[in-house]
Chains A and B, each alone.
Chain A
Amino acid sequence: MRKIVSLILLAIVALGIALCVMNIPFGAPKTKVGNHYINKGREETGAANIVTSVVLNYRGFDTLGEVTVLFIAAVGLSAVLATRKKKVEKEIEPSSMILNTGCRFLFPLILFFGAYIFVHGHLTPGGGFQGGAIIASAFLLTYLGCRGRRVSERRIKVTESLSGLVFIVVGLLGLAVGGQYFLNNFLPKGILLSLFSAGIIPIIYIAIGFKVGSEIAGIIDKLMEES
């Protein structure tokens, strides 16, 4: 019964969406907004990666909201899992020597790779979120490979808070100096394609990289404690 009703409902919705999508041809020429970003993006923001300039400069407020959403998820997860009973510490079988050494060898390499991705966010595909996810995967490797090692929860919290504050303070500085707008790109734009270009974009992406990495590592840590 429930299946039939759901299928009918979905069929109606599908019909409606199909009628609407007919008017959006696939592969159509760019919209005026897209054109403006591609044509003017280099001079107005200084970043070679136009997606980065859209994410951090033109629509930087959305990115602030997104960072907040991830923060809420980490905080909410800690709040929900906080009131459970303390479980008996199980005897954890230590991992073999190959696994242990391999993980400890790979850990800084993965961190380095993640840092490369978010530092070069304005030059190559990538950025803070992608780099942060890679950093978190390094922590996941440590949890799975060398069992029994944990990251200090205090350090994760402090990193999260500080990086979030860096984002907001950089935005507020835009209010104080330069053109009096929040998130104004007030630092010099530099030469295209060099590392120190694009004003505040690399600074914010580094902050986001740290924040996302520490947040997802914190989420993994909390979930690992359950098992």
Chain B
Amino acid sequence: MSVAAGAARDPEHQALAALERGDREEALTILMEAFGAPLYRYCRQMVGDPDLANDVHQTTFLQAYEALSRSRPRGSPRSWLFGIARHRCLDALKASRRRRRRFEPVDDPPDLADSGIDAEERLVVTAFSRVLERCLGNLVPRARAAVLLRYQSGVSYPEMAAICHERPATLQARVARALPVLRRCLEGQGFSL
């Protein structure tokens, strides 16, 4: 496959080409098809609550569409979308924190009795996944965002720096500090790695 043919199939190039033609609706459709699912997963794990995640996810694309009327995304459309989603998630968390605390604090992880996971269920993989998600939820939002972008969305540090408007070194240190917190949280729930 030629480079040109590969680029033609790449949704980011397709979206940019649609914008060149002035077709914002087509660009929105391509972006929703290509990045709707990974962005939803990111939003869902960032905010923890399904209704809030739905709102943030849809607001991300609505805001993206409106921004496209003013300018084209700088750099990769994927990074640009993740940047919008990250801002919306942090805003939503800030607003919801005023109403109620969605996650337990980092230094006070929930005990097993409160987690709703019994000893038998703990043995299965899904239980591990749920505990891992709970531990992710215990991280402070900016650390959670960095870990998810790095290890779930596979975003490079230069790309993450563009998304978060922070230096790569700051983000690298944040992820390196967050991983031991996650490990200890898992161990505190009875899961050793």
Query: Are A and B a genuine interacting pair, yes or no?
Result: no
Footprint of B on A, CB under 8 Å?
Answer: none
- Which residues of B pack against A, CB within 8 Å? none
